[in-house]
Chains A and B, each alone.
Chain A
């Protein structure tokens, strides 16, 4: 096996550990200013939008005369946040002030037989990247470059690769996240629910959450609207094996046996159809396949589902009736992270069908129609047409993958007999693949096989340890970025501009992309000196200007199209037939079940518990695990254990245990036990994003456990390639296990 690319702890250089330069650190510790009774005066206010997650709330950064960011608050005009950022956005200052940030470009070198990094100038690092990319293009064609991205910076590298001649651009936000949902909804309604989701929670009378843990999943607008719905007395029904925060606010909590959701959904469909509770008028007007569906669900009675889901038939009926009573002002929430058990498109389809039967799509309090403002692209030459693309890496699988599937790009990076479409170089920007993608062996093999691995990041996350070149990006508070042009209830655009100059030697991604592009002879694709020119040009096309936006931060445009289906009008869904597909012709013709079926999934053996995971409101995945402001709120995750299970194992509160999964993989670190009635006895729960094993993350290192390392069994969705991650089972180890050789 190759050992060409050994994992390097950047900390070995003493980089991460070195003193916190300048005033940033001092500021973080918050030396006393005995002035807190006076308003903070003389602060500069700079527009931005948040990058701590992908909801992209617009806000203002408050900058002191000394150039420190004092606070960030939401922009009241922004319908995505209404002037209120979530805790992560408010704590976004910690991303900027993190003393462990990447500070200089790094290049992998071998010294005395040991691999390590050395600091490099931008000039050298960029030359290196460009040279390697040219080599790859010459040997294998430009298509052999791929990009993994998440967040704002991805755009510039997508542009770079497209200009270079590749469209192998993938993000874990598809095959590890919302892919199944989007596919399921597209197959049913002809379009997805987008991001931010077009759920009209604000005005709903009934909100059904299936594993979607709003309030922990802190997608701002939705959380705000859920609160309004509570005020309005909406009925909330939550299906979750764990008493999520949302479940605790719900009229009905259905503590389902994990992995059995499809059975519940089918039973609901059964009740709606057979008890004649569905929205007849809507369905006859807009949907097709009702008869097939009726026949299909005939035997899926609540009694049948009870045996599978452990949810009482009476409760299934009553909740179905609640939905019907509220219809069409009802939302069966599509969820977002939906890669659970490998039949996730089908589960999403069942959810979509329920929404269809109740007439939610296009109804007030259901799912509304979004509208946005189109920002014209800055003039550029046409992109060259690649000889092959990510679709070719699917090799006939996953016919409904509308976006590139990370897994197949990774596979295509491992040479093997008969592989035509080989990938030789990666740019990774804004995604910590090692923690985001459960296919560890595949990922490691792929990274070992590459000719070039460039990582653009702000922090020394695990992924940087595998790079040939690490390029330090400045944080979102120190740069211009693309305009945020959201399609939602109202069209809006928002500006992000630097609140302060980039710290250390960090640079914005647009600059990095341009520099590499120019070195590759693609200068004509970067026909500007500063990204401000692009922004100003674009803004002028939509009747604004950079100067105006610097002042207002966010601009709203009037809507031109209706928000809901207007009474008395016809509506064409974006499916082929213009109708909601209760029975999917597309799936049928591709050889899949045209209507969802329940498939039993493996259950834990004795002494093992299903590993389920989710979010904590104060963290975003692994990206905030080192953020001082947020770590103060939640320094580590804990493993949630039902008291009965704790008793069997003799576990005490706050005791440290190690977790071992069904394949014998033991967690890198120990984790504290939380004994709580909030979870079923067949499952344990941990918040994703902890257990960092990269030393340069001086705060995050060794705190809690990493769920990803315990997810070694993945159920891939045959329809779109999503990696189902909830079929793993763990048991407890109470004494420290002997350490094997770790990465």
Chain B
């Protein structure tokens, strides 16, 4: 029998018996970031493709929520800091190697873009809106004329932001479960899927919804592919990684993961969307909400489980 124990009685809060430094704030932050990235990506890409009027909700309405999502996300990050008074130092340092710093900066850029973007559609969506000041009106006019110029960086940054939500975790090699480069694309796709779900919820236009549904089904398929790939990669990995993935394949995370993420969060909404496309009457809120809930739970589980996994020595 092999036995391992701390003879010095180590029992540090939030570290022992397993790491639990990041609580609900971080997965929520990642969720909001991914969701905003998804929406802004679609808004940007359809603008570049010149489909802003065909995809009005995607381009004009859904982005209005993103500044709030991003600011709320940043606020949650702030909430999770243990030494809050020193928060500002995030923005007096640029450390490209630090995913945390990177995220803070990406958000710092993304949030104003999302605000400007949304603002530029305010008068179009709310005809009574009045900017009050002349210079704002001039600015608005300039933006409206050059939207495509903003759409490009916005789309690119959206991809970066989406990937970042996964990279933040995969940068931590010390957590075997996170130690995989698939996490970036996986979180990007998952974020896009949640973005699409929000658009589906908001859109009244049947055609737009059909397009987004198709995209969403595709995203879900890619996501499932990534997840399978992730697990297979771990299974072929080191002992620490095998132990890590076993949390999801037979371990304590198996039931919540397969029930809430795979079945209720991916397979069922995909099925419902397929059915809808085939002409069955399915209230669109159901798959959309399932996807959103699944995406949120997915992030909670990955953050939680990742902290449990560790190197064995």
Contact = CB atoms under 8 A, between A and B. Distances in A.
A674 B1 CA distance: 12
Interface size range on A against B: 10 to 19
A671 to B, nearest CB: 15
A634 B1 CA distance: 23
B93 interface: no
B7 to A, nearest CB: 8
A648 interface: no
Contacts of B1: 643, 675-677
Contacts of B8: 618, 633-634
B3 interface: yes
A614 interface: no
Contacts of A635: 9
Interface size range on B against A: under 10
A675 B3 CA distance: 8
B9 A632 contact: yes
Interface in A366-416: none
A620 to B, nearest CB: 16
16 contacts: A618-B8, A632-B9, A633-B8, A633-B9, A634-B7, A634-B8, A634-B9, A635-B9, A643-B1, A674-B5, A675-B1, A675-B3, A676-B1, A676-B3, A677-B1, A677-B3
Interface string B1-27: 101010111000000000000000000
Contacts of A618: 8
Interface of A: 618, 632-635, 643, 674-677
A540 to B, nearest CB: 45
Contacts of A674: 5
B93 to A, nearest CB: 19
A675 B4 CA distance: 11
A456 B14 CA distance: 42
B72 to A, nearest CB: 31
A644 to B, nearest CB: 10
Contacts of A675: 1, 3
Interface of B: 1, 3, 5, 7-9
Contacts of A633: 8-9
A633 B5 CA distance: 12
Given A618-B8, A632-B9, 6 more contacts: A634-B8, A674-B5, A675-B3, A676-B1, A677-B1, A677-B3
A643 B2 CA distance: 11
B103 to A, nearest CB: 27
A174 to B, nearest CB: 32
A584 B3 CA distance: 47
A677 B1 CA distance: 7
Contacts of B7: 634
A480 B231 CA distance: 68
A632 B9 CA distance: 7
List the 6 closest A-B pairs by CB distance, nearest first. Answer: A633-B9, A633-B8, A643-B1, A634-B9, A677-B1, A676-B3
Contacts of B3: 675-677
Nearest to A642: B1
Nearest to A616: B7
A731 B6 CA distance: 27
B203 to A, nearest CB: 53
B16 to A, nearest CB: 13
Contacts of A676: 1, 3
B213 to A, nearest CB: 51
Contacts of A632: 9
A635 B3 CA distance: 20
A633 B9 CA distance: 5
A676 B1 CA distance: 8
A213 to B, nearest CB: 14
A632 B7 CA distance: 11
A635 B9 CA distance: 7
A635 B5 CA distance: 14
B156 to A, nearest CB: 42
Nearest to A643: B1
Nearest to B5: A674
Contacts of B5: 674
Nearest to B3: A676
Nearest to A634: B9
Nearest to A636: B9
A65 to B, nearest CB: 28
Nearest to B8: A633
Contacts of A643: 1
A675 B5 CA distance: 11
Nearest to A635: B9
A439 B1 CA distance: 38
Of listed B5, B8, B9, residue having the most chain A CB within 10 A:
B9
Nearest to A87: B8
Nearest to A653: B3
A635 B7 CA distance: 11
A418 B7 CA distance: 54
A123 B8 CA distance: 44
B223 to A, nearest CB: 39
A675 B2 CA distance: 10
A677 B3 CA distance: 9
A343 B3 CA distance: 36
A643 B1 CA distance: 8
A645 to B, nearest CB: 12
Nearest to B6: A633
A591 B93 CA distance: 87
Contacts of A634: 7-9
Contacts of B9: 632-635
A634 B9 CA distance: 5
A4 to B, nearest CB: 42
A348 B128 CA distance: 102
A103 B1 CA distance: 49
A675 to B, nearest CB: 7
A618 B3 CA distance: 21
A87 to B, nearest CB: 9
B196 to A, nearest CB: 47
Nearest to A646: B1
